[in-house]
Amino acid sequence: MARGANPIDAYVGARVRLRRTLLGMSQEKLADALDLTFQQIQKYERGMNRIGASNLYKISQVLHVPVSYFFDDMPEDLNETSDRKVVEELFNTRHVGRRETINLVRYFYQIPDEATRRNIIALMERLGEGEGDSPEDTGI
């Protein structure tokens, strides 16, 4: 998140970036669909520019999500005076654009059984508890 960004705008922008990236859409393609420049999309995604209601609605249409998606899981106590590090810790987008992350999410949602998806999440949480361990140490 860039310096000076409003934490709420940064959170919404990060959700735009997440969805756009998961769809494999470039900033240029999203900008074209909205009749904006890709630089404006960059500013939205960094939270440097606030996304107006009409543009947020258009973005939701292009990205095939409800407007509420951009606020999902946002902490109720997040506000304009929140430290910007709070958003970075809540919503780390560093790995979102990586090909392995995109493939993981795509394949995950191709699993039709919800119980299986929950089991996979539980397994990943258990494996993540050993963060810093080498594959040899965890038996992987």
Q: Is the pTM of this model over 0.75?
A: no
In the prediction, which pLDDT does 33 show? 96
Tokens of 108: 């995950």
pLDDT digit string, tens, across residues 25-70: 999 999 999 999 999 999 999 889 999 999 999 999 999 999 999 9
Cα→Cα distances 58→34, 72, 112, Å: 7, 18, 29
- Domain borders along the chain are 7-97, 99-131
**Using an 8 Å Cβ cutoff, are 41 and 31 in contact?**
yes
Cα→Cα distances 86→50, 120, 129, 134, Å: 18, 28, 22, 29
Task: Please give the residue that has the higher pLDDT: either 4 or 36.
Answer: 36
CATH topology of domain 7-97: 434 Repressor (Amino-terminal Domain) (1.10.260)
pLDDT digit string, tens, across residues 102-127: 788 888 888 999 999 999 999 999 99
